[in-house]
Amino acid sequence: MWQTVAADDAPIAIAIHGGAGTITRDNMSPEREAQFEAALTHATEVGYKILQAGGSSLDAAIAAVQSMERDALFNAGVGAVYTFDGGHELDASIMRGDTLDAGAVAGVRTIESPIQLARDVMERSRHVMLSGEGAAEFARELGYAEVDNDHFNSEHRYQQLQEALERLQQSSTTGDQIALVDWDPAFNMGTVGAVALDRDGNLVAATSTGGMTAKQYGRIGDSPIIGAGTWADNQSCAVSATGHGEYFIRYHVAADICARVKYQGQSIEEAGDAVIHDVLVAAGGTGGVIIIDAQGNIHMPFNTEGMYRASQSSSSPLDVKIYRDEE
Ligand code: ASP
C-alpha cells in the first residue's frame, strides 16, 4: 500500500459521544453535569494528544473510547447496563476508512475493554465479527485477562434494571408487546463512540456499549454492526452512533450517512441531518451520531433532548456540549 507523506499542517480532528437521550437541564444536577463535562474533556484530550503527536486515528479513537469504558458514568465497560436476567453483555466495533477493515464483538461478558478486542478481531483474526463465548475464546488465545461478569455491576444501573423490569411487567399485563414504543430512552443511554482524522488523512470510527437495559435472548444492537452503529470510509466520512439500536440497524444509519456524502456529494451536515432528523424521526427512532469528514469537518446531529458530545480539531478548540439548546 502506498503511503502519503503527512504534512505538518494537514488537518487533524476528533469527536466523541457518550450517549443520547432525555438529557435536560431539569434532570441534571450541577455535580453530575460537571462530572460528564470532565469525563468528555478527558476522553477528547486523550485522543487529540495522540493525533497532535502524529499518531493514528485508530490509536486516538481507541484511547478516547477506552477512557469512557473505564468511567462508570457511561454505558460501556464498567458502566454497562444490565440484561433482563441481571448480567451484562457488551458490544463494540471499529472501522478504518483507508482500508475499510473492520472488527466487532457482540455479547461479550468477561472483557474489560470490548473496543480493544474489536480492534484485535480486525487486526489479528480472519473475521470481522465474533460473538459471545467464541469472542472470549479468541481473547484467551491472545492472552487477555478476563474479568468476572459482576465486574460490571453497579447500583445505579441495577436500579434502572428494576424500573425497566417493572415497565415490562406492566406492558405484558396490558397485552402490549415489549415496550418498544414507549421505552424510556434513559434505559439505554450512555453508549460511547469516537471518530477521528489523523495527519495522514485517515478516518476511523469506534463504538462501545453495554446495549439496552433488560435486553433479552442475546440481543445485539447496532453498536457492533458495521454500517449501522459504526462506519468509516476515507472517501466520505466516519460515523459513530448512539440511540435505539433496532432502528439504527434497520435504517443502516452510519453507512447511509456516508453513502449520501459519497454518491450524492452531500456535506456531512446535509447527510447527517437528513438521516437523523428526517428518516429516523419519521420512523420513530431516537438517537444521534457524530460525523467527521476527511477535511476535519465535524457534525453531531441528534433528535433527542441531549447528547453527551465533544470535539477538538486543528481548526477548532475543545468544545464540550450536553444539551439540545447548545447546538
Ligand atoms: N445503540 C445502543 C444499542 O441499541 C444503545 C445506545 O446507544 O443508547 O445497543
Does the pLDDT of residue 278 top 50, yes or no?
yes
How far is it, in rounded angstroms, from Cα 17 to Cα 320?
10
Task: Indicate the top mutation candidate among 178, 212, 290 to test ligand 1's pocket, ranked by most ligand atoms within 8 A of CB.
Answer: 212
For 57-70, how does the pLDDT look when each residue is reduced to its tens digit (9 = 90+)? Answer: 999 999 999 999 99
Q: With a 6 A CB cut-off, is 188 part of the ligand 1 pocket?
A: yes
**Whether pLDDT at 176 is above 80:** no
Ligand 1 centroid from CA 210, angstroms: 8
Is any ligand 1 atom within 6 A of the Cβ of residue 185?
no
At residue 22, the pLDDT reads: 83
The 3-state DSSP class for residue 312 equals strand
Average the pLDDT over 169-197 and give the result.
Answer: 70
How confident is residue 27, by pLDDT bands cut at 50, 70 and 90?
A: confident
d(CA 242, CA 308): 10
- 60 is written with which cell numbers? 486516538
How many alpha carbons fall within 13 Å on the CB side of residue 325?
3
Return d(Cα 229, Cα 288) in angstroms, integer: 10
Residue 207 designated active-site: no
Nearest CA owner, ligand 1 atom 4: 245
Domains plus CATH for the chain? 13-326 (3.60.20.30)
Question: Poorest-confidence range of 133-147, 176-190, 302-316?
Answer: 176-190
In the predicted structure, residue 179 carries a pLDDT above the cut 50: no
Band (184; pLDDT cuts 50, 70, 90): low
The active-site residue out of 44, 191, 207, 242 is 191
Encode pLDDT of 154-171 as tens digits: 999 999 999 889 888 877
Q: Angle 45-47-51 (CA atoms, 0-180°, nearest 5)? A: 110
Is the CB–ligand 1 distance for residue 240 below 6 Å?
no
C-alpha of residue 181 to centroid of ligand 1, in Å: 15
Q: Report the chain's mean pLDDT, rounded to a whole number.
A: 93
**Portion of the chain with pLDDT greater than 70, in percent:** 93
Predicted TM-score of the model (pTM): 0.95
pLDDT at 181 over 50: no
CB neighbours of 214 closer than 8 A, spacing ≥ 6? Answer: 82, 83, 84, 161, 164, 165, 168, 187
d(CA 223, CA 292): 17
Report the candidate in 272, 186, 297, 230 with the shortest Cα–Cα distance to residue 91. 230
pLDDT band, residue 29 (cuts 50/70/90): very high
Which of 105, 222, 230, 280 has most ligand 1 atoms within 8 Å of its beta carbon, as the pocket-test mutant?
222
